[in-house]
Amino acid sequence: MRLLIIGRLSGELITASKIAISRGASVSHADGIAQGLAFLRTRGADLVMMEVALPIRELVEALDAERIRTPVVACGTGTDARAAVAAIQAGAKEYIPLPPDPEMIAAVIEAVAADTRSFVWRDPAMEKVVKLAEQIARSEASVLITGESGTGKEVLARHIHAKSGRRDRPFVSVNCAAIPDNLLESELFGHEKGAFTGAVARRIGKFEEAHGGTLLLDEISEMDVRLQAKLLRALQERVIDRVGGSQPVKVDIRVIATSNRNLADEVRKGTFREDLLYRLNVVNLRIPALRDRPADILELAAFFGKRYAELNGLPARALSLEAKRLVARNAWRGNVRELENTMHRAVLLAAGELIEAEDIRSPDGEALGAPPSPADRAVQTAEAVTRGLVGRTVADVERDLILDTLDHCLGNRTHAARILGISIRTLRNKLSEYMGAGIAVAEPGATRAAV
């Protein structure tokens, strides 16, 4: 964990620095905001600890303007309550009283660096994925982690980093879906002063920030195809070009990418480069949906219950037998993320010695196990159908309809054409097109699964 301290290194801040170092942090120092910003632009950090007497709002606004997403905590004398409140209002995430308490410093560092410790699993399906992840962790191979949203792809990526030879170097994550296309290039590769409007100084990108460590490209399927060409060069040659720069910059990184989409399908659509897929997909780790790893559900529920009780200063409560049954049989369409949010609510709602079934509620306050009304079921069905079509081309939908109908007819072309309302010639032309693209097509008397 990389900590930057901004302020005069008085005896109390020196003590805080020593405590952080003893807890495994790498500590750097800047006298003021200008020096701190220069450090963050060129080297990066995971956490900023800043003297409360300094203009915290100025730093927070400067970080926001330059899209530097490093959290800031303020520190000052423990009796200065007004300054503490003002610091939080100015955008600080936390206030640490001085003289520093070792446990307080440790708690803040743990909150920022808590990555692999929240990686919990028990189910054999997940065990296979974790074993493979740990087997390849010490290699330099690029890894592609796939799975539904909320299954824990970033958590697994952090676990791989923690088990690798780069564990003591930075782990830097960038969400490709959360940054506009016109800004993502600068975010990844950095820029020179004056490269574009608002580029007030040179700034390193995520590739340089992750130098020596691991770079996570989260939801890489959302990256514009034009930027993918520059990314491919960076991965192949380990060299990047800052926006507006004239000199290539060498980088030493291990790349992990995640996606909740099928990238092979994206290649066929033309929205993802095939050569980039090959470069990223040296090792593929697919995380099963939570509903497909039932032994993990109660294990994770207990973990989140304990975590949020501690964070909220509440007594730890176990799940009642009925609550366990309710949690275990839920579909968890939002996977681990949905379970985590549900357990957070349950911790806050529980009043007795146990977390009861009635405490397990959806975001709108409904009991989790309450059966939906006929109208709700109709809406859910319509939404499910819509979600299944959104983002897909007409050609994709047509192909699936034709192939599914052919399976239904056990490969009988004549019957399938009649059901589809097209001529047998049209059907045969479509099937020839699919087979030419390497797509399985049911033979007469069989389905695709049996081919």
pLDDT digits (tens, 9 = 90+) for 35-51: 999 888 877 888 899 98
Give me the percent of the chain exceeding a pLDDT of 90. 47
State the pLDDT at residue 116.
40
Nearest to 54 by CA among 26, 103, 99, 90: 90
pLDDT band at 390 (very low <50, low <70, confident <90, very high): low
In a domain, 309, yes or no: yes
pLDDT band at 168 (very low <50, low <70, confident <90, very high): confident
Indicate the SS3 state at residue 233. Answer: helix
Using alpha carbons only, how large is the chain's radius of gyration in Å? 26
State the pLDDT at residue 406.
87
For the cut 60, the answer to whether the pLDDT of residue 351 exceeds it is yes
Cα-to-chain-centroid distance, residue 2: 20
Ranges 10-24, 126-140, 287-301, 341-355: which has the least confidence? 10-24
In a domain, 321, yes or no: yes
Residues 124 and 243 in one domain: yes
Domain end call among 286, 308, 326: 286
In a domain, 328, yes or no: yes
Domain end call among 92, 113, 134: 113
Comparing 129 with 400, which gets the higher pLDDT?
A: 129
Residues 387 and 351 in one domain: no
* pLDDT tens by residue, 395-446: 888 898 899 888 877 888 888 888 888 888 889 889 988 888 888 888 887 7
In a domain, 432, yes or no: yes
In a domain, 364, yes or no: no
CATH assignment of the domain containing 436: 1.10.10.60
State the pLDDT at residue 220.
95
For the cut 80, the answer to whether the pLDDT of residue 111 exceeds it is no
In a domain, 370, yes or no: no
For the cut 90, the answer to whether the pLDDT of residue 284 exceeds it is yes
CATH assignment of the domain containing 139: 3.40.50.300
Residues 61 and 183 in one domain: no
Q: Which residues contact 32 (CB under 8 A, 6 or more apart)?
A: 6, 7, 54
Mean pLDDT estimate for the chain: 86
CATH assignment of the domain containing 308: 1.10.8.60
Residues 157 and 258 in one domain: yes
Between CA 319 and CA 326 the distance in angstroms is 10
Give the pair of three-digit tokens for residue 281.
Answer: 């997909």
Ranges 59-73, 200-214, 239-253, 278-292: which has the least confidence? 59-73
* pLDDT tens by residue, 354-376: 999 999 988 777 777 555 555 55
pLDDT band at 114 (very low <50, low <70, confident <90, very high): low
For the cut 60, the answer to whether the pLDDT of residue 76 exceeds it is yes
In a domain, 264, yes or no: yes
What average pLDDT does this structure show over 81-98?
Answer: 84
Comparing 126 with 397, which gets the higher pLDDT?
A: 126
Residues 124 and 182 in one domain: yes
Residues 106 and 233 in one domain: no
State the pLDDT at residue 373.
52
State the pLDDT at residue 392.
67
Nearest to 42 by CA among 18, 74, 66, 24: 66
For the cut 60, the answer to whether the pLDDT of residue 152 exceeds it is yes
Ranges 129-143, 349-363, 369-383: which has the least confidence? 369-383
Q: What is the pTM of this model?
A: 0.64
Between CA 146 and CA 256 the distance in angstroms is 11
Residues 19 and 37 in one domain: yes
CB 227 within 8 A of CB 216: no
Residues 269 and 125 in one domain: yes
For the cut 90, the answer to whether the pLDDT of residue 274 exceeds it is yes
Residues 127 and 250 in one domain: yes
Residues 267 and 329 in one domain: no
256: left (phi over 0), alpha (psi -120 to 50) or beta: beta
Number of compact structural domains in the chain: 4
Domain end call among 286, 316, 338: 286
State the pLDDT at residue 393.
79
State the pLDDT at residue 449.
63
In a domain, 368, yes or no: no
Domain that holds residue 194: 117-286
Indicate the SS3 state at residue 74. Answer: strand
For the cut 80, the answer to whether the pLDDT of residue 350 exceeds it is yes
Residues 210 and 321 in one domain: no
Residues 334 and 250 in one domain: no
